[in-house]
Amino acid sequence: MESPTPSRSAAHRVTLARLTGLLEVTRLVRTGGDLESLLPALAAAAAEALGFRSVVINVYEPAWDELRAAAVHGSAEARAALLGSRTTREEWAPLLDPAFEREGCYLLRHGEFDWDEDHSPSYVPDLPRTDDPALWHPADALIVPLLDGRGELLGVVSVDEPVSMRRPADDELHVLAALGSHVAQALEDAIAAAEAQRHRAALEHLLAVSARLTETLAVRPILQSVCEAIRAALGFSHVSVELLDDRAGRTVPEAAVGWSLEEIARSGIDGAALERLLDPLFEVEGCYLLPGEVACERLGVAPGYRTAHNGRGPHAWDHHWLVVPLQGTDGGLAGVIWVDEPEDRLLPSGTRLQTLRTFANQASMAIAAAAAFAEAQYLADHDPLTRLGNRRAFTRQLAQETYRATRYGAPFALVVLDVDGFKGLNDRHGHTAGDAALAAIGAVLQGSLRMGDHAFRLGGDEFALVLDHSGAAEAELVVHRVCEALDALETGEDTSLRASFGVAVGAGETADPEALLRAADAAMYEAKRAGERLRLAP
C-alpha cells in the first residue's frame, strides 16, 4: 500500500482537529451550566477547531443594546484590548454588510473596508504584511453573527491570526458558520434556561400565595406575600399593592417591598386619574405599560420617583410605568399593583406579564375573600337592604343600654317607628319601589343620629332607634329631624313617606328591655291610630 504523502497527512490532521474541536464545542453546549464560565471554554474549543489563535465571543445585551466581549481566547495583548469591551449594534452593522458575506460568515479582506471609520475597540495582531491574496493580512477580519431560531441577534464571533497564515477557503468558512450555530445554541439555551428557572420560581411562589389564601382571611399579609413573590419570581425590586379608598377617593398602600408604605402614601393617586393610565392603547396581557413621560402627562404631574435600573435601546426599561389593575367583587377597579426597578433593566416579556397578571388575580382573590368575610360578619348584625342594625343587634344593644341605665342611672330613649301606608306603596309600585323606600328611610335614620346613637330595622317596615343619654325631649328632637328629612325625600307625585313614632324612656330600676319595647310599640300604634306623628309611653 502506498503511504500517505506529507500534504495528505497534514490535511488529515487538520480535518481531525476540526472534527475534534467541533465535538468539543458540541459537548460544552450540551453540558449547559453557567454561561459566563462556559464562553471561555467555547472560545478555546473554537480556536482549536478552526485553527485560529484569536477567538472573541461578543454577547448581545438587550438592556443596553450593545455587544460585550464576554470571552477572548488569544494573547495577553488581545485579552487586554478586547475583554469586556462594548460595541453598539450600529458599529457592527457596516461589518455585516451583505457584500462581505460568504458561507454564512463575513470576510473583510485588507483594503475592502476603511478601518479609519471604525472607532470600536480593536486588536491588530503583529503579523507579516503581504500582498498575496491567498495569505492572511493583519487588517483582515472574519466574523460570524450568532442568531437565534427567529433570526434575532444573540452575538458575534470574530476570529483572527490563522495558524496556517492563509485566508480561509469556503469549506473552512462553512465549518466556522457551523461552529457559530453551536455557540448561538449555547446562548439561546442559556436564555431559555434562565426563563425556565424564572418560570419555576414563579410557579413555586404562586403555589405559596395560593396556600396562604386558604390559611387566612387577613388581606394585608397575603398582599405582602404577593409583593414579595413578584420581587423574587419576576425580578422587580420595587412592588406595591394599593387599594382604592372610596371615602378618600385615592389609592392607599396596603403592602410593599422596595418602598416604604409612608413614601407611597404621599403619592396616592385618585381613582379618576388612575383610570387615565388604564388605556387599552398600553394594555399588554392584562397589564398596562406606559412610557414615564406619557404617564406623567396623563396625570398632569411632574416626574417624581425616578427608576434607577434603566437601560438603552428598544428592549430596555427606561423610566416606564407598569401598573396592574385589581378587580373588585363588583367588577370595578379595587386597586392596583405597581412594579418598578427590573433587575435585568429590560421591558418584561409577554410571559412575564402573564405571570404578573396571575399574581394580580391572586391579590384580587384575597381582597374578594376578605370582603366576603367582612360582609358575612357585617350581615350577622345588619340588615342587607338598609345597612342598619338587624333585630339581633337591636336586642343586644337594648340589653346593654338597660344594663347601664340600671347600674349607673344613665337614661336612654327607645324610639320605635312604623312606615304609614307602606303596603299601599308596595301594591301600587311593586316591591322594588318598596325596597327603595326602605333603603331611603334607613339612610334618613342613619343621617339623623348623633354620635353614640343607633338605628335598627326590626323587620318589614318597622324600625327602632336607641338614643344614648337621652330623655323624652331629646327623643322628640330626633323624631322631628327624621320627619323633616322624610318630608324632603323625592318619592314621586302620588307617594309620600310618613312614619308613626312611639317613645319610651329607660332610666334607673324602670329600665327593662322587654317592658320598654312593649311600651314604645304600644305608643307607636296609638300614634298611628290617632293620626299623630309621635306618642310618648307613660
Residues involved in catalysis: 461
Give the Å distances, CA to CA, from 274 to 30, 91, 242, 519: 49, 42, 11, 55
Question: At a CB cut-off of 8 Å and minimum separation 6, what does 181 contact?
Answer: none
Three-state DSSP string of 66-108: EEEEEEEECCHHHHHHHCCCEEEHHHHHHHHCHHHEECCEEEE
Kindly give the pairing relationship between strand 283-284 and strand 287-290.
antiparallel
Q: Give the burial string for 33-46 (b: 16+ CB within 10 Å, else e).
A: eebeebbbbbbbbb
CA atoms lying within 13 Å on the CB side of residue 434: 15
Distance CA 150, CA 148 (A): 5
Radius of gyration from C-alpha coordinates of the chain: 40
Q: Give the burial string for 484-493 (b: 16+ CB within 10 Å, else e).
A: ebbeeeebee
Q: Which DSSP category does 450 fall into?
A: P
Distance CA 324, CA 230 (A): 12
Residue 108 β-bridge partners = 141
Q: Which DSSP category does 492 fall into?
A: -
Q: Give the burial string for 314-334 (b: 16+ CB within 10 Å, else e).
A: eebbebbbbbbbbbbeeeebb
> Is the Cβ–Cβ distance between 223 and 255 less than 8 Å?
yes
CA atoms lying within 13 Å on the CB side of residue 478: 32
